[in-house]
Structure formats: C-alpha cells, structure tokens
Amino acid sequence: MTYVAWPADEFHAFRRDLERNLLATLDLAGDLGERVRAGRRAERVYGSADLPNFFRKPYGPGWALVGDAGLTIDPITALGINDALRDAELLADAIVAGLDGSSPLDEVLTGYHSARDRAALAMFRFTLELASFAPPKPEQEVLFRSLAGRQQEIDRFLGVLACAVPVEEYFSPRNLMRLIGVRGFLAITRTRIRGRKQVETAPLPITADREATTKAS
C-alpha cells in the first residue's frame, strides 16, 4: 500500500488525473514510483479531503471509546493503530481498577480521559503542523540540514513518526542543542530577527489569513 498527501485545496486538481499525479508524487520518494509501476494494482485509488481533527470525551454511562473513535487525527503520521493500542491499554487498566472496587469507576474513567489527552497532545500538534503543509520554520530548516548524512539521527527522527521516540523528548532544547549545536541556534536567532524586522516594515493586511488546511490523501 502506498500513501500520498497533497494540500486539501489541491484535492480537486489531483482528482483530475489520479494516475499521473499519484505516480509523479511517488517519484519524489526515491525509487518508489518505479517500484509501483513494476507491480500490479490490486485496488482502486481512494482519497478524501474530509479529514477532521478533534478530541472527544472518551467515556460515558456504560460506554468508552479508544483510538479513532475518541481521537480523530490526520492520517499523515499514520497514528491510528498506535493510538488505538495505547488507549485500549489505558482503558483496560482503568476498568480493572473501577470494577474491582479499588476506585470509583467514574473517577478512573476521568483519569483515563486525562491520561489519553496527555499522551496524545504533543503528537496531535506535531501532526497538525505537518498536515498544514506550511513552509518549514527556521528551526526546522536548520534541523533537517543538520541531519543530512547522519543515518542514526535520521532513524531517530523517523522514530518520532513511528512513536518509538517521544516527540517532546526529540524536540527538547537539550536534544536540539546536541543535534544543531551553538551555530545552529545562532542561525535560527538571526533568521527570526530578520523575520520580525520584515513583519514590522510590512503593510497591514486587508484581510485575515485563512487557517491552514489539513491535507487530502
């Protein structure tokens, strides 16, 4: 199975020539396009621009939710099964504690709700940032340049997407300092100062910027 993501406002343009746009996008990923052309398509191409992102209250009288049912997130980071397994474990622990009499069931389900949100929030925000297709921030450009040619560090970054490395740990100031060094932080600071000066001298906008959209697959 291959997965392709475009900005949501380009969804209809993509649909006008699915085959060409799909393969052209896969060609950007090394030899993936060539490998797909060498295979046989087993199914039709599926896509959607209807990709909401939200948290639901995951419990109520006689019911509880896990995974996508309680927390819907853009598929660009492919977290669905990870979230489902994490929530199932948290919920199972809460139910055991609530049914064995050690704590009131409503209390432990409230705890499950809080634990779910704490565990998911950092990756939820990271996913929305990726799904907005916004230009990379100065710190991201510096980080990606610093990763070039360092396979072990590239693997750790990909581990963030696989939830093997906690996102808050990877983007902590200590780890970023280790990756980009003092020169990297100075480069980020200079870029931010230039950006602030440009904003200060720019004319006021006539209309507000529209919100960044999530992407279509």
The predicted-structure confidence for 13-69, as pLDDT tens digits, reads as follows 999 999 999 999 999 999 999 999 999 989 888 888 888 899 999 999 999 999 999
| 48 neighbors 217 (Cβ within 8 angstroms) | yes
Q: Of 174, 178, 171, which is closest to residue 139 (Cα–Cα)?
A: 171
- Is the per-residue pLDDT at 195 higher than 70? no
Residue scoring higher pLDDT (171 or 113): 113
Q: Three-class SS of residue 71?
A: strand
Q: Of 77, 8, 1, which is closest to residue 48 (Cα–Cα)?
A: 8
pLDDT at 34: 95
Alpha carbon distances (Å) from 174 to 1, 191, 211: 37, 21, 32
163 band by pLDDT with thresholds 50, 70 and 90: confident
208 band by pLDDT with thresholds 50, 70 and 90: very low
| 49 neighbors 8 (Cβ within 8 angstroms) | yes
8: Cβ–Cβ under 8 A, 6 or more apart, which residues? 49, 51, 213, 214, 215, 216
Please state the domain extents for the chain.
Answer: 1-50, 54-131, 138-201
Q: Which CATH number fits domain 54-131: 3.90.1010.10, 3.40.50.1000, 3.40.50.300, 3.50.50.60?
A: 3.50.50.60
pLDDT in tens, 80-126: 899 999 999 999 999 999 998 888 999 999 999 999 999 999 999 98
Within the chain, residue ranges assigned H as helices are 11-15, 18-26, 32-37, 80-99, 105-131, 138-147, 151-161, 167-170, 173-201
- Is the per-residue pLDDT at 213 higher than 90? no
Q: Which two tokens stand for residue 103?
A: 């704590």
| 114 vs 58: CA distance, rounded Å | 10
- Is the per-residue pLDDT at 205 higher than 70? no
> Within its chain, how far is the Cα of 161 from the centroid?
7
Q: Of 34, 39, 44, 46, which is closest to residue 5 (Cα–Cα)?
A: 46
Mean residue pLDDT of the chain comes to: 84
